[in-house]
Structure 1
Amino acid sequence: MALPSDPVADDGEPDRHRWYQGIRPPRLGLRARITLAFTLGAALLSTLLAGTTWALTRENILDQRESAVTRQAFRNSAVVQSQLATGQEDTDLRVILNSLDNETPSRAVVRDAYGRWTNQSTAFDEAAIPDSLLQMAEEGTPSRMRVAIDGEPELLIGIPLPSVDGLYFEFVPLTDAESTLESLSTSLFGAALVTTLAGAAVGWWASRRTLRPLADVSMAAEAIAGGHLETRLGAADDPDLGVLVASFNHMATVLEERIEQDNRFASDVSHELRSPLMTLSASIEVLSSRREEMPDASAQAAVDLMVADVARFKQLVEDLLEISRFDAGAARLDLSEIRPGELATQSVAWSPTPDVPIELDADLAGEFIRADKRRLVRVIANLLDNARKYGGGATRVEVRRIPTGIQFAVEDGGAGVPEDERDLIFDRFSRGAGSNRRAGSEGVGLGLSLVAEHVALHKGKVWVEDRPDGESGARFVVELPVAWDEERAHADEDLDLA
C-alpha cells in the first residue's frame, strides 16, 4: 500500500525513487569535494603509515627486550643451578638471588628439589606464576609469558633446572617498553593529524587553483549578463584551459556582435520610421482639423481611429529610439537642481490625469536634488500612464524623503500585480498576464522598462508592491539615492555665488 506522502507515478504506483530524491541531502560543491578527497586521502595514508610503523616498531622493541631479558634469565638460572649443585644445605638462596648481576631490573623465584620456594621480592612469589607456565616448566620446557602484576606489565620466564630438580622463574618489568610505545603512538598520532591537516590545506589550495579559471568564467559571464558585453577572459597558459578560454571569448564576441546588430537594426528602423511618421502625423492632423466637414459619420470614426493609432505609433517609435540609446550606451544624465514637489506637480499636471492628489513630505520643503529633470518627468508620466491603462487610474502620488534618498510612489486602484509578475513587468514588451484582461490594450510594454532604465541611470531602483492601506491596487515605488548634506552644500554655494 502506498504511503500518503509517496508521489504516485502515471501507472498509479508510488514513485519511491522520486520520494527518496526529494529528501536526499544537497551535494557538496566541487571545491569542497576536492578538499575532502585530499583530506581523506591524507588521513588514510597517514593512518596506514602510522599503524604500520607502530606495529613494526612495537614488535621490534618487544622482541629485542624479550630476547635480552631471556638471555639474562638463562645466565641467572645457570648461576642459581651451580649454587644448588654444591649440595650445601646452608646455602641462602635469597642472598644468591640478590647477588645476581642483572642488566635490567628483575625479580627471581626459585623452587628447589625439596619443593621449597624462595622469592627475591614479597610481591613476586609462587602465587603470581600462572599454572600453565608452571606446568610447562615442570615438564622441562623453558617458556615465557606476559602477565600483569598489580596492573603493571611483566614478562615471566620459566626455566627448568634438571640437574638439581628445581625450577627458576624471573619477572622482568615491561613498563619502560610500554612507555616507549605510548610515546611513539602519541607521536605517530600527532604526525598523522598534521599530515591530514596538511592534506586538507593542499586540497584547498589545489581546488582553489584548479577552479580559479572557472571562477573567472563565472565572473565574466555575470559581467556579460550585466551588460558589459566587451568582457573577455585573459589568455591561459594551460593548453587544456586555453580551449575553454578561446571558446568562451568566441561565444562572447558572437553574442556582442549579434546584440549590436539587433540594436543597430532597431535604431535604424526607428530613425527610418520617424520621417514618414512625421508626414503621416501632419496629414492626420489636417484630416482631424476638418473632421466636422466630413458628412459621413463612418469617415469621422475612421479619422478618430487613425489619429489614435498614429499617436500610439509615434509613442512606440520614440520609446524604441530611447531604448536604442540605452543599448548603445549613449544615454547620459543632464543634471540640474530640482525641487521634488515641483517635479511631481508638473508631471501630474502634464499627464492625462491632472487631478491625481499629491502627498508631499513636509521634510522636503526647501530641499533640492540633483537629477535629470526630463527623465524623472518621463518616469512619473509613464507610471501615471501605466496606472491609467492597467490599474483603473492613479489614486495618489506620494513624494517622501528617506535617510538615504527620496522616494516617488504612484498608487492605483486596480487589481494589483501578482507576486510572480512583479519583476517581469519591468522587462521590455512585457505587460503582465493581467493586462490582457484589462481595458485599454494600447500599451506595448515599453513604458515600465523605460522607467527602469531611467531610474538605473540615476543609480536608483524601482519596484511594485501592494498598497500599504490594504486596499486593492498596486504601488509603484521609485527610490533615488540622495546625499542630502552634499545637496545642501551645493545649494549654499549657488546662493553665495548669486
Structure 2
Amino acid sequence: MTFAQPLTRPPRYRRTRARRIIRNTARALLPRRIGLRHRILISFGAGAMILSAVLAITTYGFTRSSFIQQRETAEINQAFANAKRVQTDLLANPADVIGALEQFGSAQRLLFSNGVWTSNSKGFSQADIPTALKSRVVTNLKAAHMIIDHGINAALIVGIPLEQANAFYFELESLRQTEDALRSVFIALMLSGAITTAVGIGLGLLVSGRTVRPLVQAAQAASAIAEGRFDTRLETTQDRDLEMLTTAFNDMVATLQTRVERDARFTSDVSHELRSPLMTLAASAQVMHSRRDELPERSQAALDLLIGDVTRFQGLVEDLLEISRFDAGAIRLINEPLALLEFVRQAIAVSSLPRTDVVFAAQTDQILVQGDKRRLARVFANLIDNARIHSGGKPKIIIQLADDDPTKSRVWVIVEDDGSGLIDGEEEKIFERFSRGGSAGQRAGSEGAGLGLALAAEHVALHSGSIWAENRHDGIRGARFIVELEIFVQDLPALGAQRSTETSS
C-alpha cells in the first residue's frame, strides 16, 4: 500500500512569503509619504526646535554651574569669616557658646565642643550633617563643604575645625534664592525656545509656500493644457534653478501646440480636399441611381453598395471636419431656449429612426433648456444611430428629472437599447475618438467609424452638461446613454410619477 506524502513548501517559497508579509505589514504601519510643503515645514519647525533646545540646555547648564559656583565661593568665604569670629568669642568667653553663635546673617550655625552639640536654630541639628562631612571635619580635622537637600530646598553645609578653641563649627545656608533664580532662567529659556520654534514654523510656511508655488503654477498650467488651452505658458523667472524648468516646460508646450495644430490642420485639409471629389462621386452615384432600373441585377447591387459607402464616407468626412473645429477651438454656440420634449421629437423625426418611442414624466413638456439647436440635435441623432447600429430592436428615449438632484435643476435624456450591453470597463472608453467599444464585434452591424459618441460628448460638454453610459437597470439586457442638461426655467409644477408614451410621426 502506498501512502501519499504530505506536501511541503520549499524553503525559498517560505522565505519569499515571509518577506512579502513583512513588507506588507511595514507598509501598513509606516505613515504615508507626506507632501513637499509639509516636509519643508516639518524640517524648519524641527530644526528650530532642536536648535532652541540645544541652546537652552547649554545656556542653562553654564548658568547653573556659574550661579552655584559663585554662591558656594561666597558662602564658604563667609563661613570661614564667621568661624574665625566664633573662635575669637569662645577664646574670650568659653562658657557663652550661644552668644558666640548669635551673629548677624541668615545662616544657621552649629558648634560641637567638649562632646556637646549647640545650635542657634531649631531647624539645624546634628542629624542634618552628612556622615561623610562630619567624619572629614571632626576626624580628619579638615574643612569641607557639601550641598544637601534640606526640606524642600537645597542647602550648603560648611564644616570648619576650630583648633585653638578645641571645637568644630558647622554653618548651613539655604540655596533657595539661587534655585528661584535658576527656575526663572529656565522658564525664560523655555519661552525663548517656544518663540524660536514658532518663528521657525513661520519661516517654514513662508519658504514652503515660495518653494511649492512654481510647482503649483506648473500643475495649473498642465491642467489648462489638458483642457485644450495650448497658449498657456509659465512665467519667466530670474531664479537660476527654476529657469531651466520653466524653459523646458514652455518649449514642451510650444512643441505640443505645434504638433496638435499641425495634426488638426492636416485633418481639416484632408477633409476639405476629400469633400469636393466626394460630392462629385455622390452626384454621379445619384445620377446612376436614377437609372437603376435599366441596370442588370448585379450592377444594381454594386450601385447600392457604392451609394451606401459614399454616404458613410461623407458622414465620416463631416465628422472629421467637426472634430478639427473642436481641436482648433473654432466652435461657437448659438444658444436659445428650447422646449425639451418638442425639441427631442423634432430631433427624432430627422434621425435614422424617426418612429422612436419617447417616454416622459407628466408635465415635463414645460421644461426648457438653453442650447444650440443644431448641435444638441446632432447629439440625440448620434445616440439614436449608435443604438440602431448596436441594437437588435428599437431604441427608446426617456425624459425625466435627474435622480440625484433634490433641487430639480437638471434633466436627463436617456437613450436605451436592447442590444448586448456594455462590457465592464468600456463605459468611458466608448467616448474616445475612433473607439467602437469592446463589444463592437458582438453587436449587430459594423457601421460607424467611432466618432459619433466622441462628437456627442464634445457637444454636451460645450453646453456645460454631462454624458455617460451604463448597462440597463430594469433587468433587460442592453445599454443606456444619459445626457444631463441644466434646466433653463426652474419654476416647474410638481412632477408626478405618471408616465405617458408617445410615438413621433
Normalising by the residue count of structure 1, what TM-score does the alignment of the two structures yield?
Answer: 0.90
Question: Is structure 2 residue 159 aligned with structure 1 residue 155?
Answer: no
Q: 1:62 to 1:451 in 2, by over 3 A?
A: same
What is the SS of the residue equivalent to 2:359?
Answer: strand
Q: How many residues align?
A: 478
Q: Is 2:440 the partner of 1:430? A: no
Aligned: 1:95 with 2:96:
no
Change (3 A) 1:392 1:30: farther
Aligned partner of 1:185 in structure 2 is 186
1:70 counterpart SS class: helix
SS in 1 for 2:439: helix
CA contact (8 A) 2:342 2:365 kept: no
Which residue in 1 is equivalent to 2:4? none
| 1:212 to 2:209 alignment | no
Does 2:270 correspond to 1:269?
yes
| Residue pairs, 1:220-239, within 5 angstroms | 220-239=221-240
* Cα distance between partner residues in 2 of 1:442 and 1:97: 121
Partner of 1:129: 129
Aligned residue in 2 for 1:81:
87
> In the alignment, what sits opposite 2:499?
none
Q: Which residue identity is paired with 2:430?
A: I
1:356-382 alpha-carbon deviations (Å, 9 max, x no partner): 321223243334333211111111111
Instruction: Specify the alignment match of 2:498 in structure 1.
Output: none
User: Structure 1 18/67 Cα, relative in aligned 2: closer, same or farther at 3 Å?
Assistant: closer
The answer as to whether partners of 2:369 and 2:487 remain within 8 angstroms in 1 is: yes
| More displaced stretch, 406-415 vs 226-235 | 406-415
Q: Is the 8 A contact 2:235 2:246 kept in 1?
A: yes
1:450 aligned to which of 450, 455, 461:
455
Q: Distance in 1 between matches of 2:488 and 2:173?
A: 88
More displaced stretch, 12-21 vs 22-31: 12-21
Structure 2, gaps ≥5 residues long: 1-7, 403-407, 494-505
Choose from 34, 40, 44 the match for 1:34.
40
Matched, 1:390 2:396: no
The higher-RCO structure (CA 8 Å, 6+ apart) is 2
Q: Which residue does the alignment assign to 2:57?
A: 51
Question: What is the DSSP-based 3-state SS (H/G/I as helix, E as strand, rest coil) of the residue aligned with 2:366?
Answer: coil
Shift of 1:423: 1.8
Q: Cα–Cα, structure 1 residues 135 and 474, in superposed 2: closer, same or farther, change >3 Å?
A: same
Shift of 1:89: 4.6
Report deviation, 1:333. Answer: 1.2
Secondary structure of the equivalent of 1:330? coil
CA contact (8 A) 1:7 1:16 kept: no
CA drift of 1:293 comes to: 3.2
1:170: Cα distance to partner?
Answer: 1.0
Seen in structure 2, the aligned counterparts of structure 1 residues 13 and 83 have a Cα distance that, compared at 3 Å, is: closer
Instruction: Give unpaired runs (5+ residues) of structure 1.
Output: 489-498
Q: Evaluate the alpha carbon distance shift between residue 303 and residue 8 of structure 1 in structure 2; reply closer, same or farther with a 3 A threshold.
A: farther
Is 1:476 the counterpart of 2:481 in the alignment?
Answer: yes
Cα distance in structure 2, aligned partners of 1:487 and 1:274 = 46
Note if contact 1:337-1:371 (Cα within 8 Å) is conserved in structure 2.
Answer: yes
Q: Deviations over 1:166-210 (max 9, x none)?
A: 111111111111111112111111211111121111112111112
Q: TM-score, structure 2 length as denominator?
A: 0.88
Q: Report what 1:495 is aligned to.
A: none
Find the aligned partners of 1:225 and 1:14 in 2 and give their Cα distance: 41
Residues 18/276 of structure 1: CA separation in 2 closer, same or farther (3 Å cut): farther
1:464 is aligned to: 469
Letter paired with 1:463: W
Which stretch shows the higher mean deviation, 143-152 or 447-456? Answer: 143-152
| Pairwise CA RMSD | 2.6
